[in-house]
Amino acid sequence: MPFVTTSDGTDIFFKDWGAGRPVVLSHGWPLNSDSWEAQQLFLAANGYRAIAHDRRGHGRSTQTWHGNEMDTYADDLAALIEHLDLRDVTLVGFSTGGGEITRYIGRHGTSRVAQAVLVSAVPPLMVRRDDNPHGVPVEVFDGIRAGSAADRSQLYKDLAGGPFFGNNRPGANVSQGIRDAFWLQSMAAGHRNAYESIAAFSATDFRDDLATFDIPTLVIHGDDDQVVPFEVGGKASAALVKGAELIVYPGAPHGITDTHKQQLGDDLLAFLNTHGA
């Protein structure tokens, strides 16, 4: 299996499908690159080189004790991009992966980047603070931490059966297979890695990173996202990135990579084709 080894000896697994202009897909917590398989297959079949990696501590990558924060995630992404010598790349980040690509741009710039897409993404800042009064109360994240420490297997089942895919809404019809895939991928993450990553996605402030975006940027978010509320995530990020395009999926939950596969694939392809087609 293909891996890139980072400067601290961490092995990062990646899948490299198709040929053409490169697209790198960064996954959400506590999943791995398999969560992108529908979009990766779709983009590769439509003339793009679609690459998806497992964040350190997740999936098939090394379960490190250290580095479970955004700066290191971004540097690992840089190691992947440099290893493959990717140019003119489009970065697509879902949820925590949106934080990862945003911090990448903040730390490494856009010399290799042509476009960026934030999907149900955690920037600019999730947790409520004095300077972020409309954020999510820290007690919510403390509850996730407590659930992870007590019984993370059940936590993941509860998330998949409830807010992640909006399965707690009237009329929801998310298959058992989709929920099982969420649980399976989540349990492949290291316990410490997934636990520490809760702070990474909830408490990292990406506002300065977003201010450095100087590339075409697309923001996609469901307005019934119960994990990263639209007003905290997509709406706020789009307001901070000059010229960003915002697409709102009415009534859509957080996990739109599964619940809105076709619509998301079509929107990604249309945006990709606006550059260098």
Catalytic residue annotation: 95, 225, 254
End-to-end CA gap in the chain: 31
CB-based contacts of 213, cutoff 8 Å, min separation 6: 105, 110, 116, 241, 242, 244
| Residue 39 near residue 33, CB atoms below 8 Å | no
Q: Could you give the CA distance from residue 259 to residue 271 in angstroms, rounded to a whole number?
A: 20
Q: Could you give the CA distance from residue 145 to residue 242 in angstroms, rounded to a whole number?
A: 35
- Greatest pairwise CA separation for the chain in angstroms: 50
Strands (E), 142-267: 217-222, 245-249
Distances (CA, A) of 64 to 10, 35, 59, 121, 166: 7, 21, 12, 24, 32
Q: Could you give the CA distance from residue 201 to residue 215 in angstroms, rounded to a whole number?
A: 23
Q: Would you report the helix, strand and coil content of the chain in percent, each value rounded to 5?
A: 40, 20, 40
